[in-house]
Structure 1
Amino acid sequence: MTSASAGRHLSIDAVRGFAVLGILLMNIVGMGLPSFAYIDPTYAGGSTGADMWTWAVNNVFTDGKMRALFTMLFGASTVLIADRAEAGTGLSPAATHYRRMLWLLLIGLLHAVFLWFGDILVPYAIAGLIVFPFRKLSPRVQIAIGVAILVLLLAKNAMGPGIPSPPPGAKAAELAGFRGDFLDATQARLNMLVLFYLIIHPFDTLPEAIGQMFIGMALFRVGFFTLGWSTRAYALTMAIGYLIAAPFTAWLAYGIQQSGFEPKTLHELEVWQQLSRPFIALAHASVLLLMIRAGWLEVLTTRLAAAGRMAFSNYLMTSVITSLVFCGYGFGLYGELSRAQQLWVVAGVWAFILLWSRPWLARFHYGPFEWLWRSLVQWKPQPFVKGAKPATATT
């Protein structure tokens, strides 16, 4: 299904909107609690009752799955935007893409330092630079490359030493930093960036993004994200995700919980969850795609599509809102809410995204940060307020 706006695919936009909402279910833990709580709920945020159930459900259905879906869609958009650039009269596909990635890299660095150390824009920009030359490979080859990268990453992690324990005093340092003023929080983010990229996940984020982008490019080419599959094929994807991959993940999560989150067991079992992530992610997407095909809950799917058209703005605005909620220069709730209580913040941000995106796009051609990104790529201001003719799509 294609929307009337610049030949956009409503289905892609809706799945992207769904993914950007879902990512917050996991990011909120690192945004409002000492970071190691993301891996181990006994570290902070509560590990009994509703807090444990929140960890368990998210571990099975959202942890890594929403990011995988968002990353696949980034790969799909790489192909889509290049195709549009080839058909247009503006910048070449290569010039468009590499300008986009370089500006995304800069914006991502600013985002990581001043708003959210768990930023995904920087690895996306670097991965995007790498995968672009391979966008015209056959879908079969792209799938093979993507799967090979993810399998090698799984093997590397399975044979690795495991996740290191947080350094002594790390929790106290994070609590003090993020409860402090803006400079204190900025220093805490810089410390976390060093810890995250040099100690905890030094060689994981980028290859995972590259592998998933290859798969996303292939899935776009074969029509998965544009309702090109049969209802039976989407139903089969759902069955694999929900009847095989999800129970397998739940079994691993149960083993982790039963061990009391013992570090060795945590690592050994969590590694194998990488196998099921793409299948559960694609099952989620299949549900939404079938809803769009059937015309079910159009009020919701059209709002998700608007949120997806503004995914860049909504991703960054999420960080702005949560930094004000949790950091000392805002409401100062860092470390104060349990894992389950954080879901109220998630619900509030979701409501904001779903309520503002559609009315905004009724008046403006693009989200605010999409407009900025497009203007930087073209190196001139793009039409913004409705009534002016929109420029050729470049982002």
Structure 2
Amino acid sequence: MTALTHAHGTNPTARGPVRRAERALAPDLARGSMLLLIALANAAVAVFGNQPGAEASPHGWERPFNLLMFVFVHARAYPMFAVMFGYGLVQLARRQDASGAGSGAARSVLVRRNAWLVVFGLVHAALLNFGDFLGAYGIVGIVFTLVLLRRGEKVQRMVLWLWAAMTVYPLALGAVALHRALNGGPGSAPAPAVGVDSLTAPDYLTSIGDRLTEWPVHTLTVLPFIIIVWLGAWAARRGVLEDPARHRKLLVRTAVAGLGIAFAGGVPLGLVSAGFLHADQAAVDAFTLLYEVSGQFGGPGYVALFGLLALRLSRGRRSSRERPVVGALAALGQRSLSGYLFQSLVWVVVLSPYALDLGGRTGSPTLAAAVTAVLAWLATVLGAASLQRRSLPGPAEKVLRRLTYGPRKG
């Protein structure tokens, strides 16, 4: 099936959320695993009080750590969730269509769910994290549902042309950055770091006020990821992750091209941040633009990589979800909203200067951020596995489903 079914059944009632048997492994495995990279990125931002979050004067092991973060994590991990968000929009609409509820019911469910995501985002931002993405997801989800979801194949294929054209941009930026690096004068311009007031606030109430002014600006800056969401929706219409064997060539090409551009684009600024490369301000500005533009290609690249991993696991003797580690990661993927919100709570309690301030009280803020991120992520993996054994949803998922479908559909 290459397009959404325009069902016009007589039953106007929307069906409930996805059932366990309907879930493909790749999306859940991707979400659960990539929450580790989200944790590493956000913990670093919380510790250093700026974006993208990196030690300004790294020493010893902190230098290669900075490099790895810019190459693999910063601005490269979150686009994967945008791809999966678009994928999920189409899956949800398709389930409604298949139930005979009708296209109107699907649209109603999607708009209602995404409107509640905006509310979740506002509360999340006010209480915990200025860098919330839920509100932006909700806004993009509403726009996509009303403008693009039901468009025909010709319109849907436009996103492929957009991505093909966008590929030229980071390649051109890379050439510019290389030219400036080779021909620029001596200098030691630092990697950019944009301070965030809420992360350095003297108390929690002040941080709330700061976040309420920071969140709208942050949300506006990430709304253009609707193009990444659209790409995920295109992939969902073709069932790329439900049938990775059929789409193996596409997944391989996407993983190689997407991750190749994303990783290579992060290297120059990563070398500057790590202190391995010294350049003048013009060169660093070029490195920064390359880093920002190339990061979006990490989204489809990482998704494709997990699609291939799921294909490899499916060929084993045991069911993929019967493998303890795989099953636990997939369980977290099913409860990624709860895992994401839990992480933000940890950053406030453990890393905020007005709370435990682990980064400020230890000799290495980088180490504090890394250890806290890994432990927080492991806690969510174990918690999700425990809920999975009892067939329980995550608490945030339970609330969102109740608000979206009502008490009898939750």
TM-score range, shorter chain: 0.7 to 0.9
TM-superposed CA distance for 1:122, in Å, is 1.1
Number of corresponding residues: 362
Question: Does the 8 Å contact 1:13/1:308 carry over to 2?
Answer: yes
TM-superposed CA distance for 1:192, in Å, is 4.1
State the partner residue of 1:75.
Answer: 86
**Residue 89 and residue 261 in structure 1: after superposition, are their counterparts in 2 closer, same or farther (change >3 A)?**
farther
CA distance in 2 between counterparts of 1:202 and 1:128 reads 13
Question: Does the 8 Å contact 2:46/2:53 carry over to 1?
Answer: no
State the partner residue of 1:217.
Answer: 233
Is residue 56 of structure 2 the alignment partner of residue 49 of structure 1? no
Unmatched tracts of structure 1, length 5 or more: 157-162, 383-390
Q: Secondary structure at the match of 1:92?
A: helix
CA distance in 2 between counterparts of 1:112 and 1:188 reads 10
CA distance in 2 between counterparts of 1:367 and 1:214 reads 27
Question: After the TM superposition, which residues 214-363 of structure 1 pair with which residues of structure 2 at under 5 Å, given as runs?
Answer: 214-228=230-244, 229-241=246-258, 245-254=262-271, 257=275, 260=278, 264-295=282-313, 298-327=323-352, 330-333=355-358, 335-336=360-361, 337-363=364-390
**Residue 12 and residue 166 in structure 1: after superposition, are their counterparts in 2 closer, same or farther (change >3 A)?**
closer
More moved, 88-97 vs 232-241: 232-241
**Residue 223 and residue 365 in structure 1: after superposition, are their counterparts in 2 closer, same or farther (change >3 A)?**
same
Deviations 1:110-136 (A, max 9, x none): 101110001001111111111123124
State the partner residue of 2:30.
Answer: 15
CA distance in 1 between counterparts of 2:276 and 2:191 reads 20
CA distance in 2 between counterparts of 1:154 and 1:124 reads 28
State the partner residue of 2:15.
Answer: none
Deviations 1:300-341 (A, max 9, x none): 222221111101111111111221112356423354452233
More moved, 66-75 vs 278-287: 278-287
**Residue 283 and residue 174 in structure 1: after superposition, are their counterparts in 2 closer, same or farther (change >3 A)?**
closer
Deviations 1:13-38 (A, max 9, x none): 111222223211211122222114x2
Question: Does the 8 Å contact 2:80/2:298 carry over to 1?
Answer: no
Q: Secondary structure at the match of 1:49?
A: coil
Query: Which among 381, 388, 392 is matched to residue 407 of structure 2?
Result: 381
Question: Does the 8 Å contact 1:175/1:335 carry over to 2?
Answer: no
**Residue 231 and residue 174 in structure 1: after superposition, are their counterparts in 2 closer, same or farther (change >3 A)?**
closer
CA distance in 1 between counterparts of 2:254 and 2:385 reads 30
Q: Secondary structure at the match of 2:96?
A: helix
Deviations 1:148-204 (A, max 9, x none): 689899999xxxxxx99879xx68x65751xx443133234345447xx2xxx6863
State the partner residue of 2:131.
Answer: 118
Pick the structure with greater CA Rg.
Answer: 2
CA distance in 1 between counterparts of 2:212 and 2:19 reads 43
State the partner residue of 1:159.
Answer: none
Query: What RMSD over aligned residues (CA atoms) do the two structures have, in Å?
Result: 3.5
**Residue 261 and residue 21 in structure 1: after superposition, are their counterparts in 2 closer, same or farther (change >3 A)?**
farther
**Residue 145 and residue 238 in structure 1: after superposition, are their counterparts in 2 closer, same or farther (change >3 A)?**
closer
CA distance in 2 between counterparts of 1:216 and 1:222 reads 10
TM-score if structure 1 supplies the norm length?
A: 0.79
CA distance in 1 between counterparts of 2:280 and 2:70 reads 16
Question: Does the 8 Å contact 2:46/2:347 carry over to 1?
Answer: yes
Question: Does the 8 Å contact 2:262/2:294 carry over to 1?
Answer: yes
Question: Does the 8 Å contact 1:182/1:328 carry over to 2?
Answer: no
TM-superposed CA distance for 1:59, in Å, is 0.7
Question: Does the 8 Å contact 1:324/1:331 carry over to 2?
Answer: yes
| Residue type of the alignment partner of 1:14 | L
Is residue 205 of structure 2 the alignment partner of residue 183 of structure 1? yes
Deviations 1:214-245 (A, max 9, x none): 11111222333224344444333333345565
Is residue 148 of structure 2 the alignment partner of residue 134 of structure 1? yes
Deviations 1:15-72 (A, max 9, x none): 1222223211211122222114x26632xxx423222222210111112221111100
TM-score if structure 2 supplies the norm length?
A: 0.76
Unmatched tracts of structure 2, length 5 or more: 1-17, 174-189
